[in-house]
């Protein structure tokens, strides 16, 4: 990315019919254009910037006579989804993040315009024949990274039923199929609750063991979990060992970022239509020690109770 350079100041003298020896009247150059990031709540990905790697703002225009200022260069405004983090490509240093709709932050400052020769006149130098050049714009490589903002993040192995749940309780239409890693990007859904209340749920692509090392989809999706207020672990009822699966998921979060363990957690046993009443009771007695609910996206069993539990935890 490169911001615009400032326009040069003008070296000019006033020359009119009855003013043959007017003083210096060179105007200042215009400011170079900034590179600005602007939050837009209607965007959910950075795909629109994928093929726009070189972002260059306009240079400022030079000044001219009669103390005329040069026009400022046009800013380049890049609209980004909420949750976008700007980092320096070389060092990985975080510059800032965009969290609010309409929020604008300058990523690269445009160069200042140079002063015209009218600024340099004095009693001892009445006809300065020089002016300032404009400042050069800034240039650097940056990485824009999206961390999805949501109230609830769904955490689970591939094929735990996360996408099916989101498509059942919201208008979101994530891709659903019976093979692992069907979901390649996080999907967001707005969930309606009682009394016109609502919350946002994020379907995060499935975790596998050693995901924090980059296996599977690795850190491409783990970063999205950082922004969720509540984590809902989804483990299918036909899992061979619910405790072990939960510990594996928890360990992946811990290895990636220990602070994730400070977030509130609940457990949803999905595909519970596979269990009869007796099996359900036996399973319930052997669940990890956290708020839990049995759900089925197919029969819609337990979904109202799940929403109640989520709302209760979100408002604690």
Domain-by-domain residue ranges, the chain? 1-146, 148-314
The pLDDT tens digits of the residues spanning 229-245 come to 888 898 888 888 888 88
Residue 71, classified by CB atoms within 10 Å of its CB into exposed (0-12), middle (13-18) or buried (19+), is: middle
- State how far the Cα of 53 lies from the Cα of 64, in Å rounded to an integer: 35
Average pLDDT over residues 7-34: 89
- The pLDDT of residue 47 is 76
Percent of the chain with pLDDT over 70: 88
For 88-114, what is the mean pLDDT?
91
Rounded to two decimals, the pTM is 0.61
**Pairwise CA distance, residues 155 & 205, whole Å:** 8
Q: What is the mean pLDDT of residues 46-73?
A: 89
Classify residue 181 by its DSSP letter: T
Residue 105's pLDDT band (cuts 50, 70, 90): very high
Rounded to an integer, the average pLDDT of 240-252 is: 86
pLDDT per residue over 187-222, tens digit each?
777 788 888 788 888 877 656 454 444 444 444 556
| Average confidence (pLDDT) over 269-296 | 86
* Rounded mean pLDDT, 10-34: 88
Q: What is the predicted pLDDT for the residue at 156?
A: 81
| DSSP state, residue 313 | H
Could you tell me which of 13, 20, 106 has the C-alpha nearest to residue 66?
13
Residue 56: per-residue pLDDT: 93
Is the distance from CB of 246 to CB of 288 less than 8 angstroms?
yes
- The 3 state secondary structure assigned to 229-266 is EEEEEEEECCCCCHHHHHHHHHHHHHHHCHHHHHCEEE
Range with the lowest mean pLDDT among 55-59, 147-151, 167-171?
A: 147-151
What tens digit of pLDDT does each residue of 114-142 get? 999 989 998 888 889 999 999 999 999 99
Q: What is the pLDDT of residue 172?
A: 54
* Superfamily name and number for 148-314: P-loop containing nucleotide triphosphate hydrolases (3.40.50.300)
- Residues pairing with 190 in the sheet: 200
Query: Which two three-digit tokens encode residue 316?
Result: 């604690």
Q: Among 59-73, 173-187, 294-308, whose mean pLDDT is lowest?
A: 173-187
User: Are both 1-146 and 148-314 of the same fold?
Assistant: no
* The listed CATH number (2.70.210.12, 3.40.50.300, 2.40.50.140, 3.40.50.1010) that belongs to domain 1-146: 2.70.210.12
Q: What is the mean pLDDT of the chain?
A: 83
Strand 84-88 relative to strand 142-146: parallel, antiparallel, unpaired?
Answer: antiparallel
Which residues 6+ apart lie within 8 Å of 302 measured at CB? 268, 272, 293, 294, 295, 296
Strand order across the 198-203 sheet: 187-192, 198-203, 150-155, 228-236, 264-270, 292-294
DSSP lists the bridge partners of residue 68 as: 64
Of 54, 51, 8, 6, the closest CA to residue 27 belongs to 8
- State both tokens at 131: 């002016």
Q: Do residues 295 and 270 make contact, with C-beta atoms less than 8 angstroms apart? A: yes
Over 70: is that where the pLDDT of 46 sits?
yes
Q: What totals of helices (H) and strands (E) does the chain contain, helices first?
A: 5, 12
């Amino acid at each position: 990315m490169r911001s615009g350079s400032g326009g040069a100041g003008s070296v000019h003298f006033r020359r009119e019919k009855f003013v043959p020896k007017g003083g210096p009247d060179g105007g200042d150059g215009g400011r170079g254009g900034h590179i600005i990031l602007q939050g837009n709540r209607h965007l959910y990905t950075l795909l629109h910037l994928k093929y726009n790697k070189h972002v260059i703002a306009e240079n400022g225009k030079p000044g001219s006579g009669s103390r005329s200022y040069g026009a400022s260069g046009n800013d380049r405004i890049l609209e980004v989804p909420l949750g976008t983090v700007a980092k320096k490509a070389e060092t990985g240093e975080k510059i800032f993040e965009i969290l609010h709709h309409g929020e604008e932050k300058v990523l690269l400052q445009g160069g200042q315009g140079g002063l015209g020769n009218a600024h340099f006149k004095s009693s001892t130098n009445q006809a300065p024949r020089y002016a300032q050049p404009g400042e050069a714009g800034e240039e650097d490589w940056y990485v824009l990274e999206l961390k999805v903002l949501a109230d609830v993040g769904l955490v689970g192995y591939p094929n735990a039923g996360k996408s099916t749940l989101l498509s059942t309780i919201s208008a979101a239409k994530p891709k659903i199929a019976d093979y692992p890693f069907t979901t390649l990007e996080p999907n967001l859904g707005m969930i309606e609750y009682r009394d016109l209340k609502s919350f946002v749920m994020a379907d995060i692509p499935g975790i596998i063991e050693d995901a924090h090392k980059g296996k599977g989809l690795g850190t491409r999706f783990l970063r999205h979990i950082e922004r969720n207020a509540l984590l809902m672990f989804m483990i299918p009822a036909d899992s061979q060992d619910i405790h072990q699966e939960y510990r594996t998921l928890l360990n992946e979060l811990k290895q990636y970022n220990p602070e994730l363990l400070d977030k509130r957690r609940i457990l949803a046993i999905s595909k519970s239509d596979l269990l009869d009443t007796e099996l359900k009771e036996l399973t319930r007695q052997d669940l990890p020690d956290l708020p839990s609910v049995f759900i089925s996206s197919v029969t819609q069993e337990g979904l109202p109770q799940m929403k109640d539990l989520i709302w209760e935890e979100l408002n604690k």
